[in-house]
């Protein structure tokens, strides 16, 4: 059947995650619109620099969500309340400790980040003001990654939506009030985010408390949950963090090499990357669902369920990826016109539109396989796969002097293709040998 019970179960988690993911770029759009209406461009530049530094730091710590989802889904599949408690408490303690360290060390960290970025003193001063407040949210921001991962792992479909949508909507409302109403400028934008992060944290705790009670997790289990198997958690987080670092470096290289090709190329790539990011957010909804369902099957040691999840994910996300490719093929020029009003940039962007049709169809498989490996908590193999893909990306960059910006987009395509191919080869080998669950 083309749409069976496994497909329905996949959509039950994927659809809410797709809608909630879409609120993330919306938040950035509102930030830009609000700060962009102030009387000097240095405010917008400062927020852009501060947001980039924050994104880089917190993306490196995204392993907290990924590892939590995998461990929680396995405990959920095994119907083990003690492991379920441990899957929440241990990473939550780790997140709060890392967040506290960022708060305490934020001044030297900000100095280092701004030194690396460089540029106008006026812009850097606004970035500093933004970051000094923004990074106060670190404990809540990192804890929210854990809560999101845990609630996703127990397949509480509404919870991630509520957390992301409520947090982002509150952020937007406070943004407008503090920046436009109280004229707090960049400090207002930072304070809006900090307030929204802590509000989301407390809502997440209430949701987790409800699920814990429903799953039979006692207070005694929670008190003892910080003990046991901590080495496995640290090793898993180390591997996923290294994977995330390689991912960040490769995408950062796109900006760096684009800058060497000229200001127009940087601007065009920013427009095209917006389209790619939107596609990735949508397809990531399926990856999140695969994490939860494959982790549950892994915990229950249910190979038939795992295959059902995989086949459903291939069918449904494959259709969505093809839909994106078709939309970009038929209406790509109109979408670009909405993103930039400059005719010269529109014409230049149209030359590279073909890559936006290719990338969804190539990239969807690495997103799905990431979900399979996160569900199985196979962090070392994800790290190794990313290293292979990064090496392929670096080698393909050698075509940039000849192919120009097409070489840059070719490198990104090779990167996504190698991620998918290497993970598929590892999974196929383990499956044939019957050792996927070992």
Asked if 118 contacts 52 with a C-beta cutoff of 8 angstroms, the reply is no
| 8 A C-beta contact, residue 221 and residue 228 | no
Strand, coil or helix: 79: coil
380-399 burial string, b = 16+ CB within 10 Å, else e?
A: bbbbbbbebbbebbeebbee
In a 3-state reduction of DSSP, which class is residue 260?
helix
Q: What's the confidence (pLDDT) of residue 50?
A: 85
Task: Report the distance separating Cα 257 and Cα 248, nearest Å.
Answer: 14
Which ranges constitute the DSSP H helices of 61-184?
63-78, 81-104, 106-117, 121-134, 138-153, 158-175
Length of the chain: 438
Tens-level pLDDT at each residue, the chain (438 residues)? 567 788 888 898 888 888 777 766 666 666 667 777 777 778 878 887 888 788 888 888 888 999 999 999 999 999 888 998 999 999 999 999 999 999 999 999 999 988 887 777 888 899 999 999 999 999 999 999 999 999 999 998 888 888 888 888 899 899 999 988 898 989 999 999 999 999 999 999 999 999 898 888 888 888 887 877 788 888 888 999 999 999 989 988 887 888 788 878 877 887 888 888 889 888 988 999 999 999 999 999 998 999 999 999 999 999 999 999 999 999 988 988 887 777 888 888 889 999 999 999 999 999 999 999 999 999 999 999 999 999 999 999 999 999 999 999 999 999 999 999 999 999 999 999 988 987
C-alpha triplet 368, 369, 371: angle, nearest 5°? 65
Is residue 139 within 8 Å of 100, Cβ to Cβ? yes
Rounded CA gap, 101 and 84, in Å? 26
Distance between CA atoms of residues 375 and 369, nearest Å: 10
Q: Are 168 and 195 in contact (CB under 8 A)?
A: no
Q: Is 371 helix (H, G, I), strand (E, B) or coil?
A: helix
pLDDT tens string 271-293: 888 888 889 888 988 999 999 99
Closest CA to 97 of 53, 138, 148: 138
What backbone torsions phi and psi does residue 404 show, to the nearest 5 degrees?
Answer: 70, -140
Q: In sequence order, what are the residues at sequence separation of 6 or more whose Cβ sits closer than 8 angstroms to the Cβ of residue 171? A: 27, 192, 193, 195, 196
């Amino acid at each position: 059947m083309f749409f069976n019970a496994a497909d329905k179960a996949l959509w039950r988690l994927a659809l809410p995650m797709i809608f909630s993911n879409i609120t993330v770029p919306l938040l950035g759009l509102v930030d830009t619109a609000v700060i962009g209406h102030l009387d000097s461009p240095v405010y917008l530049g400062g927020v852009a620099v501060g947001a980039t530094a924050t994104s880089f730091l917190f993306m490196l710590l995204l392993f907290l969500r990924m590892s939590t989802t995998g461990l929680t889904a396995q405990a959920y599949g095994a119907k083990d309340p003690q492991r379920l408690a441990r899957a929440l408490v241990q990473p939550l303690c780790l997140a709060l400790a890392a967040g506290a360290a960022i708060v305490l060390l934020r001044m030297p960290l900000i100095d280092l980040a701004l030194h690396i970025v460089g540029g106008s003193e006026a812009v850097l001063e606004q970035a500093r003001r933004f970051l000094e407040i923004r990074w106060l949210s670190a404990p809540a921001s990192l804890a929210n990654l854990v809560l999101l991962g845990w609630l996703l792992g127990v397949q509480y479909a509404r919870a991630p939506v509520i957390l992301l949508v409520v947090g982002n909507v509150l952020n937007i409302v406070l943004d407008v009030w503090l920046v436009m109403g109280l004229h707090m400028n960049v400090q207002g934008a930072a304070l809006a985010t900090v307030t929204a992060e802590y509000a989301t944290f407390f809502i997440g705790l209430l949701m987790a408390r409800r699920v814990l009670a429903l799953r039979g997790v006692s207070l005694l289990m929670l008190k003892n949950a910080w003990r046991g198997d901590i080495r496995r958690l640290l090793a898993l987080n180390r591997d996923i963090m290294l994977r995330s670092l390689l991912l960040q470096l490769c995408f950062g290289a796109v900006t760096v090499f684009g800058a060497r090709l000229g200001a127009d190329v940087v601007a065009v790539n920013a427009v095209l990357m917006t389209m790619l990011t939107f596609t990735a957010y949508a397809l990531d909804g399926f990856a999140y669902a695969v994490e939860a369902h494959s982790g549950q099957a892994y915990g229950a040691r249910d190979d038939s369920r795992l295959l059902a999840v995989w086949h459903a994910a291939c069918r449904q996300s494959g259709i969505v990826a093809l839909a994106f490719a078709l939309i970009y093929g038929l209406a790509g020029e109109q979408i670009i016109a909405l993103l930039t009003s400059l005719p010269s940039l529109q014409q230049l962007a149209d030359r590279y539109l073909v890559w936006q049709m290719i990338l969804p169809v190539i990239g969807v498989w690495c997103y799905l396989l990431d979900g399979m490996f996160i569900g199985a908590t196979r962090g070392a193999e994800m790290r190794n796969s990313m290293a292979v893909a990064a090496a392929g990306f670096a080698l393909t960059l050698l075509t940039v002097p000849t192919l120009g910006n097409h070489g840059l987009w070719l490198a990104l395509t090779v990167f996504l293709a190698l991620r998918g191919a290497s993970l598929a080869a590892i999974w196929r080998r383990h499956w044939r040998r019957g050792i996927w669950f070992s």
